[in-house]
Amino acid sequence: MRRRPGDPVVSVDPTGDLSRRAVAANAMRLSVGTLTVLPTRPPRLVDRRVGSWAMVVAPLVGALLAVVAGLLLWLLGWVAVGSLYVTDFLPDRVAAGWRTNPILAAALTVALLAVLTRAMHLDGLADTADGLGSGKPAADALEVMRRGDVGPFGVVTLVLVLLVQVLALAELIAAGLGLAGLLLALVVSRLALPLLCSRGIPAARPDGLGQVVAGTVTRGRVAGSFALAGLVLVPLALVSPGWHALSLGVVVRAVAVMAVALLAAGLLARRATSRLGGITGDVLGASVEISFTVALVVLTLVT
């Protein structure tokens, strides 16, 4: 989650004089502009309050990504919009062979998500794997993570994580739960951000995105982020194929998926804090990918 050329250019507000309305607007712009490639106006000013709220609203960004990915699954013939599949609009001779193999559909969806996020979280995952796996002291490990190249730990981690994502998502797609699974996994994985940026978790270095957001999210704001995720998940789940009725069993399974996925992100943060002295933007990106992957895998086990 480091800033790249072409990312929104922001300046820091040293006075902390932004109004609540300005904080909210800049936080949403920072969250969308940093976590996705979707066009948005760059934030006018950024301070730690803006960074904090940008993490709080991150689940909304996950839901937005799910909507775009769901459109792709609809085009591939695996999701209905209302009661309509894309094959309903095609001639019978074309519609008969339109639905793609679920593994191909999953691979294309994972690729789309990489494009929509600039592969930034994947880059953070690779850098974090290289840094934690280097066996070097904290300062040297952070320098390994800062470099742009990818080492053997990063390559192996990327290959395995992407493979697991594709296979798990393919199983959910084949079971008719592709969109529902994506929605839950994308929202939950973005919930990891306010958790890892909560009070008591320091930044590992004095610069970068990690310094702007580390330790800024209060317990109340973490709770608010969970509530926001619930407000997004419930109505979208009701219209998602496979989750038309929110029964107690569905809610229990969703909570279990959320708990295990966020536990995985928490363990990563604990390891990074112990090994590096805190979190960085790369660690935050890695936590998104790890919790997303774990959520998909657990979903295949409980559905």
Query: How far, CA to CA in Å, does 100 sit from each of 8, 131, 167?
Result: 37, 39, 15
Instruction: Please answer whether residues 198 and 218 qualify as being in contact, where contact means their C-beta atoms are separated by less than 8 angstroms.
Output: yes
6: its two tokens: 């072409």
Q: What CA–CA distance (Å, rounded) separates 202 from 277?
A: 7
Fill in the DSSP letter of residue 9.
P
Q: What CA–CA distance (Å, rounded) separates 295 from 117?
A: 18
Q: 149 burial class (0-12, 13-18, 19+ CB within 10 angstroms)?
A: exposed
Q: Sign of torsion, CA 97 103 104 107?
A: positive
Fill in the amino acid letter for 19.
Answer: S
Q: How many CA atoms lie less than 13 Å away from 232 in the CB half-sphere?
A: 26
Residues 6+ apart with CB under 8 A from 274: none
Q: Mean pLDDT for the chain?
A: 86
Percentages of the chain per state (helix, strand, coil), in multiples of 5: 70, 5, 30
Instruction: Please answer whether residues 128 and 142 qualify as being in contact, where contact means their C-beta atoms are separated by less than 8 angstroms.
Output: no
pLDDT of residue 212: 87
How confident is the model over 19-64, as pLDDT tens digits? 788 888 999 999 999 999 998 888 888 888 999 999 999 999 999 9
pLDDT confidence band for 95 (50 / 70 / 90): low
Q: What CA–CA distance (Å, rounded) separates 70 from 78?
A: 9
Q: What CA–CA distance (Å, rounded) separates 125 from 148?
A: 13
Q: What are phi and psi of 206, to 5 degrees?
A: -85, 5
How confident is the model over 219-273, as pLDDT tens digits? 999 999 999 999 888 876 666 655 555 667 778 888 999 999 999 999 999 999 9
34: its two tokens: 């940093």
Q: What CA–CA distance (Å, rounded) separates 78 from 86?
A: 9
pTM: 0.89
